[in-house]
Amino acid sequence: MHRRTALSVSAALLLAAPLLAACSGETRPGTAAVVGGERITTSALQAQVNDVRTAQGRSEQGAQLIRATPQLERVKLGKMIQLRVLEKAADTAGISVSTREIEEARKAQQGEGGGGGDLEQRALQSRVPLAPGQIDEELRFQLLLGKLSDRFGEDKILGPLAEAAAALDIEVNPRYGAWDAKQIGLGTADTPWITQRTVAEQAAPAGV
């Protein structure tokens, strides 16, 4: 396992890639997006959003956290699609992440922050807020990104990601915006993709 902790890998690599992606089109009712022929349902998306809102509501900074994330559905959907792009690129490259690696990464993050409770609070305050049950998935996301960077080099990783996104033929329900190939995320003409920040980078309170 490489020495970098999982969440220290910069997600900026996913913000400027000239990916080829399908334009948003008509989608079936109950579908938030179609990625690689598989639906991301609105119920699955809403479940992730509800988990975050519940966790925010339990926080002492709940009202502030909720106000700071008015477009939570769109942001979470963008991250769900990005994970599938990473998974496709990793699978093509023969790269995987084990449960043990995720557990070790979580322990490392807890050690840096002072404990599990602190990690959960930092995750909740991130730009793409995470409920406690979503942290392991984010760790997997960052580990996959790190391994792809190690394999191809940070200056060449965009090629495999572009191929993966093109192969997945991404379609997004217009309700949530359009897939932005340049930013590798959801965006509209008026609202650019919100820059991702990893849990490890959250030193300031939410909203700063």
As beta bridge partners, residue 34 has: 39, 171
For the segment 17-66, what is each residue's pLDDT rounded down to a tens digit? 333 233 334 557 799 999 999 999 999 999 999 999 999 999 989 999 99
Q: For residue 208, is it within any domain? A: no
Question: Is 206 within the bounds of a domain?
Answer: no
What's the chain's length in residues? 208
Total domain count for the chain? Answer: 1
75 in any annotated domain = yes
pLDDT at 197 over 60: no
**For 151-178, what is each residue's pLDDT tens digit?**
999 888 888 888 898 899 999 999 998 8
Q: Tell me which H or E stretch contains 39.
A: strand 38-41
Residue-number span of the structural domain to which 148 is assigned? 6-199
In a domain, 204, yes or no: no
How much is the pLDDT for 188?
53
Tell me if 38 is assigned to some domain.
Answer: yes
Mean confidence (pLDDT) of the chain: 78
Residue with tokens 């404990």: 115
- Cα 143 to Cα 9, 20, 104, distances in angstroms: 8, 24, 11
Average pLDDT over residues 196-205: 35
Look at residue 123 and tell me if it is in a domain. yes
- What's the pLDDT at 5? 43
Placement of tokens 């984010």 in the chain: 138
| pLDDT bracket for residue 84 (50, 70, 90) | very high
Q: Tell whether 205 is covered by a domain.
A: no
CATH number, position 110: 1.10.4030
- Give the integer Cα–Cα distance in Å for 25 and 142: 30
User: What pLDDT, on a 0 to 100 scale, did the predictor assign at position 158?
Assistant: 81
Q: Does residue 42 fall inside a structural domain? A: yes
